Structure 1
């Protein structure tokens, strides 16, 4: 089978992709700001001051240095409960020292930018979603959508990938996860308040294209498997967030990276190729001067094919900040 046809073939794979979205795609927050935004209790902008302080060491942080450059690497979760404690003096100091801030994408919260992309790549009024499903699948879809306050008629114009990703994120929002509390948006608000320039390693359209480019049957497999695990969508994420907040990178690898290796092409598409590209961009930054703070999904900074591992393989030393 191809990468696309295997992407969501089992319930376990659905769980992996839900975690992969929250750990590896800033797109998850962008989707949360679309139909799932209505589920949030507050749309007040995130602020660093509202972030609870970690009791222990907090999330992991790495640094790359040369004679005139310092680059910090910080793994994130794109949607979090507001009560998640992750702020630390170590991260604050690194962030404050940076003269530029980098994210996967800079505009996950920009609905004006996301809407035309989603309309073009995520909607298909001419082919109703219900026409692609069995009556039993349609009933499951309607029940899942209703449980998170999404009208069935609205879902019917979604392409399967968009319905699947929306229903991966929506129950997380209902359970108290909030894109406004996601690490990037907290840091973005802080950077803007400090006048720090923002940069993106990718664009929102590039991330959408990774899912929208899948064949229709693969998208349907994604949706079907998401429906199978819909009622338990937060269980694995809760466990992974606890590991991330404690700086347990081995657990992040175990929960959020290792299972993706069962489908090598999925793993290559979502992690390896992107990590390789980002490592090249980091090396370009090293060729310049100054201090950069780079915040990307935590899955990209765990495992044998992490950004750090790729840099080390190219002779660039990466050190964990203790």
Structure 2
């Protein structure tokens, strides 16, 4: 579960659209105040050249409403931006999300239980029992979709909400300030990342979810504490290292390839001028294959902002 919760909380923003009713944010309404972080707060980096300033801020897509993550220097950087970039800006399009889920999340010709061992099915039955469901009821779904759904059920039961997540809050803030919001990718692209994994890779993802089901809540709390205090070393270990070793296909799809794509786009942004604020899942800004590491290979240095 923990590895899948990493995907949900700090990797792919699409999941809030797939399973949770989106918040109807009035484009002119002032967003709610963010509880101020204690100490250093979540990490942010800055890149500067002769005529450009670019900020990188790592988000959590699901947060509790009372999570303390606001920081004055982040607010100032955001206010200075000419435009704001997110993983995707169409995450509130529920109709599109449901259509994409029908296209990429279902495979009635390949029933879920036909892909699983008896032990897998028993574990899935046990996980679904509190919902009054069984593994057979999920037969039309592809393994990646079941894995994410289990993770989100656990997150929402623990009080986490995508409408309190960094992406939704900052999208609303950009709208209230009249700042253009742009996407590094689309919802469709994000969904195809999951659905494009091999069948075996998806089954491994689901098995990892089931294996760590009981450990999830405590590990999420530890990960949230690391993010909210800017402890990138802990985040890299908890979010990246284990997944890279145990689920290499999912890691390649969710992190390495996307980080490389975003690095190319950031280089293009830097070729222009002005100030840009970029919000992406925190998992993309830690570890050896982070966006900053890929930019460094291109001779572009990102510096940590501490105040």
Q: Does TM, normalized by the shorter one, top 0.5?
A: yes
- Which residue pairs with 1:209 in the alignment? 192
Distance 1:93 1:80, change over 3 A: same
1:182 Cα deviation after fit: 0.9
1:288 Cα deviation after fit: 0.8
Contact 1:32 1:179 in 2 (8 A): no
Choose from 131, 152, 167 the match for 1:169.
152
How many pairs does the alignment contain?
302
Choose from 266, 285, 297 the match for 1:313.
297
1:43 Cα deviation after fit: 5.1
- Which residue pairs with 2:215 in the alignment? 232
Secondary structure of the residue aligned to 1:82 is: coil
Secondary structure of the residue aligned to 1:230 is: coil
1:274 Cα deviation after fit: 1.6
CA RMSD of aligned residues (A): 2.4
Q: TM (normalized to structure 1)?
A: 0.85
- Which residue pairs with 1:289 in the alignment? 273
Contact 1:19 1:256 in 2 (8 A): yes
Matches within 5 A, 1:239-278: 239-263=222-246, 264-278=248-262
C-alpha distance in structure 2 between counterparts of 1:148 and 1:235, whole Å: 21
C-alpha distance in structure 2 between counterparts of 1:216 and 1:272, whole Å: 20
Choose from 298, 301, 308 the match for 2:285.
301
- Which residue pairs with 2:107 in the alignment? 124
Secondary structure of the residue aligned to 2:276 is: strand
1:277 Cα deviation after fit: 1.6
Choose from 160, 170, 185 the match for 2:168.
185
Distance 1:66 1:55, change over 3 A: same
Q: Structure 1 stretches of 5 or more lacking a match?
A: 1-13
Q: TM (normalized to structure 2)?
A: 0.89
Contact 2:4 2:147 in 1 (8 A): no
Q: Structure 2 stretches of 5 or more lacking a match?
A: none
Choose from 19, 29, 50 the match for 2:16.
29
C-alpha distance in structure 2 between counterparts of 1:55 and 1:44, whole Å: 30
- Which residue pairs with 1:20 in the alignment? 7
Secondary structure of the residue aligned to 1:305 is: coil
Choose from 33, 36, 47 the match for 1:53.
36
